[in-house]
Chain A
Amino acid sequence: MTVTEEAPALAPQNGDVVLRAVDIVKTYGATQALKGVNFEVRRGMVTVLFGENGAGKSTLMKILAGVEQPTAGHLELDGQLLDLSSTNDALAAGIAIIHQELNLCANLSVRDNVFLGRELRTSRGGVDYRRESEMTRQLMERLEEPIRPGTLVSDLRLGQQQIVEIARALAADARILIMDEPTSALSANEVTVLFKVIADLARRGVAIVYISHHLEEAIAIADHAVVFRDGELVTTAPAAEIDLPWVVHAMTGRDAEYDFRDAPRDYGDVKLSVEGVTVVAPDGSGRLSVNDVSLDVRAGEIVCLYGLMGAGRTELVEALAGREPISAGRIVLDGRDVTRQTISQRIASGMVLVPEDRQRDGLIQLMSVGRNLSLASIPKLVRGLFVDRRRERARVEEQVKGVRVKTASSRAPITSLSGGNQQKVVVGRALMTGPSVLLLDEPTRGVDVGAKGEIFSLLFRAAEQGLGVLYVTSEIGEALTASHRIVVMSKGRVVDQFDPTTSTRAQVMAASGESATREQSRGVSSEH
């Protein structure tokens, strides 16, 4: 039809169009999530989608993967009309999707997960475990991840689980592979390997659609960029013509690169003092996940804990919060030894953790926004036997305003909020307890640029009031632009410290055992 004539507007230089979405409209009630989008996926090319949360990227991907059906418009595969009513239809057509949230059965082995629903059969009709194991082993080799096929998924780190998810899509031999935030849980090395695999797949003619909030990473992998805003495809460009400012500008309609580093100032007293803390890994291997770590956080200071996945940062902050016991060392908060305190006692003493995995450890999904906010502060809101609900409401409204949660009401279900706003609620819950030290583990994971900025400005505002902040990040850009001091961890130890105003990206990354730029390390497996 006329579609082919429209194509030049979106046209990249080479590669045949494999999949085409034509005039896709998707409405939820009164809202249009997609307002007539034309989108093409080309053989052997990596198409990267940029856009803030709610821009419509994920909705479009769900339509391409058969999870959702468009309200209007249609899909064409190789020029033929394609009707997808389920993910199975999509898989049969060679379209696989790796979702943002992991979809694995934790109680099954890696092999069983990789072949789940597509089990290989022996001639007698049973499951051909041997062939499955062998193929899984090959996939893991290709992904350069030494995971044995028989390992239970529940025994894997989050990053490794992500690898399994990727292996599953590879095993399906898809022609079109959609990846929605595949790297959010991966370490730099794992990302490097993944990018190598993506390049390799593209060379073999697989069309790849890639979504990531990690803009630099996405720019590095792109052959072709597509930007979404408010349900519309606003612009497209070949990789050669794009850079970070261009992408940010196209996504937000403004230039929004943030830099929170404020002038060096005198920080207050030491709020948190970690003295030789050691944590034994709970997997029974006797490995030390945190090995003799000492560090201080002063009042008003924002300390960033940078390092690779598995460097022991999460284990450290969880031990500080009281979730995991420490085997040696001392934790001193405001001059008081809190080493033997429970989580609730530490919250009362003034230290609280914003966990890494929002869905698993952060949100009470069945509760409202307001109840999620007040949960950690309940002991402070009790009058007599009962929770003082009037005071609770007042504090909640104050906090909703304070952390700028965009919600229809504090009574709205927490699941009705976007990821960024959910994260603000989890941060708000921690701030509401009136902490003197706030611990955050990857506070901007899966959160769009706008919300990232808001979360950091929140932290910096609280720091001006004297809050000490210790946060974990894997994003070097974040470490350099949003902290007063960078502490680098590697293999359970603190290896170095940096002043973000005077140090470079390369220095910090090198200290963590990470190669300076991912592009340089392509093709070279950089082992620590």
Chain B
Amino acid sequence: MSTEIVAGPSIGSRRLRINKSAVIAEGRALLALAIIIVVFSLLSSRFLDSTNLIIMTRHVAFNAVLALGMLLVILNGGIDLSVGSTVGLSGMMAGYLLKGWPIPGTDTVAFPSVWVVIVLSCLVGTLVGVVNGLLIAKLNVAPFIATLGMLYAVRGFAELIGNGETFTALSGQESLGNTGFIGVLHGKILGVPFPIWVMIVMAIIFSVFLGRAPFGRWLYASGSNERAAELSGVPIKRVQVTVYVLSGLCAGIVGLLLTADLSAAVPSGGSGYELNAIAAVVIGGAALSGGRGTVRGTLIGAFVIGFLVDGLVLVGVSVFWQEVIKGVVIIVAVALDQLQQRLQKGRTVKDAGAPAAPSREERVPAAAS
């Protein structure tokens, strides 16, 4: 309708440029992924084998789901270190419930059905998120500290549930009506393992909500400039609590998937997962300072890490070197990101004068600082 007023001939080229830069940001991660795939497929003929691809993608799925939750937190300018422990807690919760819950004060043992187990375990993850969110939004505890504390506390609870023991044999019994946990969560739909479906569905939901729902807009705005967002009526505290709750929920889901995958609930399950999730988000082009990052980038980031690790295992690189290489890849990815941003800023300054001449002067400080 009224678009032509603003536009002039430059609108097309401007849009093109922005798209291009977005593509470059993710392209860098994609390039890394391509290099990983090419290198490993040259080193091992089994790497591109469809069975291997599915196995690797299943591994990726766990980290990707965690990373999606982490992406929200990072877009808000925060960090969630507690997700690994939450994975453990949710898994232990599932194991405990599947083995039967002795109702206190009676001799009876309750065996909740599988869907109740799933809901309750997710709820536990969500609850951890609520605590994180309230600590950070209401008590103004720094996200790093609040979630670091929760990392320890939640891990403690995970160990308390089974007194440090592992729950095994979780298939359930027909007579108790609690079978199917492993069957479904460890199973396949259309030949594709269940965790991969979870990753795909969640990625779609997250990307739609980030891109189109008010919540997404508010999240990007408050991550970029919280004070300005607040004055524009953005419910910044609600947004902040929500991202930690969703991150906790994601961790709860991963806890379930992991337990089904191992056919056992291990109290140490998920240890160190938080760092892989952060790495995936960062490799995917998100800024730790908030306001910048995409679902697509995060997925690519998760694939980079997952394929790299599995590839190194496949070609028989020692565990110690695996760690070194993973570290280097993360650092290089972020360093490249910084470099590229500097280049882009330089370019914006140079482009700046072209369309609207009077604006030049104020652009320069904005870009320089």
B324 touches A (CB below 8 Å): no
Given contacts A366-B220, A418-B361, contact A407 B6 (CB under 8 A): yes
Select which of B18, B234, B292, B363 is within 8 A of A415 by beta carbon.
Answer: B363
B104 touches A (CB below 8 Å): no
The 8 A CB mask of B317-332 against A (1 = contact, 0 = none) is 0000000000000000
Among A230, A348, A375, A407, max chain B CB count under 10 A is at: A375
Residues of chain A contacted by B228 (CB below 8 angstroms): 355, 360-364
Residues of chain A contacted by B363 (CB below 8 angstroms): 415-418
A106 touches B (CB below 8 Å): no
Is the CB–CB distance between B14 and A101 below 8 Å? no
Complex Cα–Cα for A427 and B221 (A): 17
Select which of A30, A33, A57, A376 is within 8 A of B233 by beta carbon.
Answer: A376
Given contacts A344-B235, A386-B213, A411-B15, contact A375 B356 (CB under 8 A): no
Q: How many residues of B contact A (CB 8 A)?
A: 56
Is the CB–CB distance between A366 and B292 below 8 Å? yes
Is the CB–CB distance between B354 and A30 below 8 Å? yes
**Least distance between B158 CB and chain A CB atoms (Å):** 35
B49 touches A (CB below 8 Å): no
Q: Closest residue of chain B to A344, judged by CB?
A: B233
Residues of chain B contacted by A385 (CB below 8 angstroms): 212-213
Residues of chain B contacted by A342 (CB below 8 angstroms): 235
**Least distance between B209 CB and chain A CB atoms (Å):** 8
Is the CB–CB distance between B364 and A406 below 8 Å? no
Is the CB–CB distance between A394 and B2 below 8 Å? yes
The 8 A CB mask of B331-369 against A (1 = contact, 0 = none) is 000000000000000001111111111111111111111
Residues of chain A contacted by B18 (CB below 8 angstroms): 411, 413
Is the CB–CB distance between B366 and A366 below 8 Å? no
Is the CB–CB distance between B359 and A28 below 8 Å? no
Given contacts A364-B221, A375-B229, A397-B1, contact A416 B361 (CB under 8 A): no
The 8 A CB mask of B14-52 against A (1 = contact, 0 = none) is 110010000000000000000000000000000000000
Given contacts A366-B220, A376-B232, A397-B6, contact A59 B364 (CB under 8 A): yes
**Least distance between A347 CB and chain B CB atoms (Å):** 4
Query: Which range contains the number of A residues in contact with the other chain?
Result: 35 or more
Is the CB–CB distance between A55 and B217 below 8 Å? no
**Least distance between B352 CB and chain A CB atoms (Å):** 6
The 8 A CB mask of B110-145 against A (1 = contact, 0 = none) is 000000000000000000000000000000000000
A67 touches B (CB below 8 Å): yes
B225 touches A (CB below 8 Å): yes
Is the CB–CB distance between B359 and A406 below 8 Å? yes
**Least distance between A445 CB and chain B CB atoms (Å):** 13
B224 touches A (CB below 8 Å): yes
Residues of chain A contacted by B364 (CB below 8 angstroms): 28, 58-59, 62, 68
Given contacts A367-B221, A379-B214, contact A401 B5 (CB under 8 A): yes
Is the CB–CB distance between A343 and B224 below 8 Å? no
Complex Cα–Cα for A230 and B218 (A): 39
Residues of chain A contacted by B355 (CB below 8 angstroms): 407-408
Complex Cα–Cα for A353 and B358 (A): 27
Complex Cα–Cα for A429 and B234 (A): 13
Report A57-83 residues with CB < 8 Å from chain B CB: 57-59, 62, 67-68
Residues of chain A contacted by B11 (CB below 8 angstroms): 408-409, 411
Q: Closest residue of chain A to B369, judged by CB?
A: A101
Given contacts A366-B292, A407-B6, A412-B14, contact A387 B217 (CB under 8 A): yes
Given contacts A323-B230, A364-B225, contact A417 B359 (CB under 8 A): yes
Is the CB–CB distance between A407 and B356 below 8 Å? yes
Is the CB–CB distance between A409 and B359 below 8 Å? no
A127 touches B (CB below 8 Å): no
8 additional contacts, CB 8 Å, given A344-B234, A355-B228, A400-B5? A28-B360, A31-B352, A62-B364, A364-B224, A375-B221, A415-B366, A422-B362, A429-B232
Can you offer 18 A-B residue contacts whose CB atoms are under 8 A?
Answer: A28-B360, A33-B360, A54-B361, A348-B233, A361-B225, A361-B228, A362-B231, A366-B224, A375-B229, A407-B6, A408-B356, A409-B14, A413-B348, A416-B351, A418-B358, A418-B359, A418-B362, A433-B233
